[in-house]
A and B are shown apart, each in its own frame.
Chain A
Amino acid sequence: MLFSELVEFYEKIEATTGRIEMTNLLVDLLRRTPPEIIDKVVYLTIGEIYPPFIGLELGVADKLALRAVKLASGMSEKEINQAYSKLGDVGLVGEKMLAKRTQATLFMEQLAVEDVYSALEKIAKASGEGAMEMKVQILSGLLASSQPKEAKYILRIVTGKMRLGVADMTVLDALSIVFGGGKETREIFERAYNLSSDIGYVAKIAALEGIEGVKKFKITVGKPIRPMLAERLSSAEEILQKLNGKCIAEYKYDGERMQIHKKNNEVWIFSRRLENITWQYPDVVQMVKTNIVADEAILECECVAVNPDTGDMLPFQELMHRKRKYDIHKMIEQYPVNLYFFDALYVNGEDLTIKPLLERRKVLESIVKIDDKVKISKAIISSDPKEVEKFFNEAIEAGCEGLVVKSIGPESIYRAGARGWLWIKLKRSYKSEMTDTVDLVVVGAFHGRGKRAGSYGALLMAAYNPDRDVFESVCKVGSGFTDEDLAKLPELLEPHKIPHKHARVDSGMEADVWFEPKIVLEILGDEITISPIHRCCWGMIAEDGGLAIRFPRFTGRYRFDKSPEDATTSKEILEMYRTQLKKIAE
């Protein structure tokens, strides 16, 4: 098949906006495509060369592509740059420059689809020293043999900007019409796609074996399953209504969603977008090997960065330190992670996606060996919106984004690749960012572990309520302490140690050690949130909650100049909460 035939079709598609028309064009194309290359045609049409889990990208920047245009067209850099700033589309620049091409070539051939595909493959695979140069050379060779219109699409594909509007769903529609006999067979194709995440492969099997071949698709360990997605609502009450009054509510951890595949001693990690990210997380691979007791498994978890000293969860941004190519092992130490498993899709040969959620969770519980780092997502089963709201506040305070509330009825199967009302996100619509520091009183402490063994791992902090003359707990702080601080703290606090909670302390949290309110520290946090645990301003904002500081850290300033009664008051915290409360922009 000539590439120019494909381009002719792309030109037609570009001129249409209607999905039905687009599907019809796609149907025409697929009918004309030889089965041996139908996968390639499908990948190119959606602007890719492989399914995402292969982990090979074309990775050609516009600037690099323009260099190839220069080589192939013989036009000056000035002319090319002018065209680029005017048109803003490398594809159009290439088309224009090649049309004006003054440099003849020695050898012009009509490009076949395979020629283009294999050149693009070479570009994707070029790596190491001189890879960029190599990519430019291959691309300019390809452009040298291209007609202007062909160049337009080659350049768009290579720079990741195909944008024809043909999505995987349109391809599935077309496949069902061509190889299934009608759109009513779409579900069969969609299922195959959801289980394999490889639309090109589905097309190829359909073309070679017909619908019977497509029906035979099975889950394969090592090939990602398209993830089930959640809808979103803003109140627990609405959510429970949608879920027929009963649900399991799970912490929505602020981490990276991972689909983990294990086959004996081999482990794959796929991102939410189904990219293979195994190499980034050698520590997770190790955790899976030791903590997942199954020969074969496909599980889902959230991977969350934690403070190595306190074990507290850190915000998602901290995980970004792990997205790098070098010093991975150093990063593992500096930014360790915990895993919170929440679903099991396949275990020891059994496809669990067709089982209801609670059954899947039971299997999950039976194969995950829980320890400090590997856990099962925290969850409650409830039919009470108030209970869910309370659990939600607890999740926020613990550093989560909110809850994922899921159906537990018989219909609660794992719907791969689908966003539906079986899973519903409950996120905050408001937050109150903390802009100022506060001075809080140490009222308790928690024993440290690891590096902090022998000292305190975290301190329980309280604000002062002059009306009640009570110190109300507001956060547990474990971050911001230097080694020096850690050495000093037990000594500093020792004289104030008491065997039980102080009478003037109101805390919803049980500390390991209690102190008489004496020492004042300066604390900064990310936000003030509603807390079902902490007692500051209890009942004033939420019926069944107080206020707490989210992601608190010690600024390094000891306020020995302040008496505990001079500490920030509960009222002041309430004021801060109110003035900073803003709707979260999505």
Chain B
Amino acid sequence: MSFRMRLPSADYFSDLMKAVQAVVDEGTFKIDQEGMKLIAMDPAHISLVDFELSSSAAEEYVCEGELQMTVSISELMKFLKRAKKGESLTLSYDEGAKKLELTLVDATGSREKIFTLNTLETVEARSVTPRLSFDAKARVGVDAVKDAVRDSGVVSDYVKITINPDAVVFLAKGELGTVQTKLSKMGAAVYEIEADKEVWAHFSINYLDKIVKPASSLSDEVVMQLSTNKPIKLSFPIPSGRLEYLIAPRIEGA
């Protein structure tokens, strides 16, 4: 069985893969008529990525049946880094040959580069998405979140994220001191808050930063969903697809 997809921008696909790589290095994509999907957890089961690129994102999309493709994303990135601005990308995968072909064509159509990547054996992993409900939701500018996370990193390894009806608050405490970022509902960075009460949880800055950084080049806003001491869901709206993450909290006394 095989699959073929032409995307207008190789750069864009490269950014998507960077976003997936924030959670897993080796990923198994499920590919069918609707598009390519990947749900995966990092080995320590602390973060999860739920990614989908629908067939409507492609200029050309051919897929017979359902297939699975496992690749090392860091290896794939080595090829994608060779893409120049304006180049289109065609992915074609032959499940029998276990090879993924990447064809980069420049805007004039006069130069074509073909890379072939050996794919990996698919290891059947149970990819169970935890069933979660959230008490609060905030739609926030992604750069504000990125800055808040990084500022928190000055004093600590983790940050307390609070959503209340009026604001989204990032608070980090360390030996050095504290850092607090308050994004008010009335301000420019917060587009929307849905919360009846205050909810909060602590998260590893390492995981937050790893995820927010690549996602910030794909989307201007992030939807944060949270309940007290429960995992946080970060959704980055992208055209013709889905990019969502879960991060498990750290359970702290305070």
**Which A positions have Cβ atoms within 8 angstroms of B?**
71-72, 74, 76, 102-108, 137-138, 140-141, 143-145
Contacts and interface: CB of A to CB of B under 8 A. Distances in A.
Nearest to A142: B43
B251 A141 contact: no
Nearest to A122: B123
A106 B43 contact: no
Contacts of A108: 45
B94 to A, nearest CB: 25
B251 A107 contact: no
B248 A137 contact: no
B251 A105 contact: no
B252 A144 contact: no
Contacts of A74: 46, 204, 250
A104 B128 contact: no
Query: B-side binding surface: helix, strand, loop or mixed?
Result: loop
Contacts of A104: 46, 231, 248-251
Contacts, number: 54
B209 to A, nearest CB: 15
Given A71-B43, A138-B43, A106 B248 contact: yes
A137 B23 CA distance: 12
A492 B168 CA distance: 96
B45 A107 contact: yes
B9 to A, nearest CB: 30
A72 B41 CA distance: 13
B43 A140 contact: yes
A79 to B, nearest CB: 12
A143 B248 CA distance: 16
9 contacts: A72-B44, A103-B46, A103-B204, A105-B44, A105-B45, A106-B231, A107-B48, A141-B43, A141-B45
B182 to A, nearest CB: 25
Contacts of B135: none
Given A107-B128, A107-B130, A144 B43 contact: yes
Nearest to A104: B248
A103 B157 contact: no
B225 interface: no
Given A74-B204, A140-B43, A106 B130 contact: yes
Contacts of B130: 106-107
Contacts of B164: none
A95 to B, nearest CB: 17
B171 interface: no
Given A102-B251, A106-B41, 8 more contacts: A104-B46, A106-B46, A106-B231, A107-B48, A108-B45, A140-B43, A140-B44, A145-B45
B227 interface: no
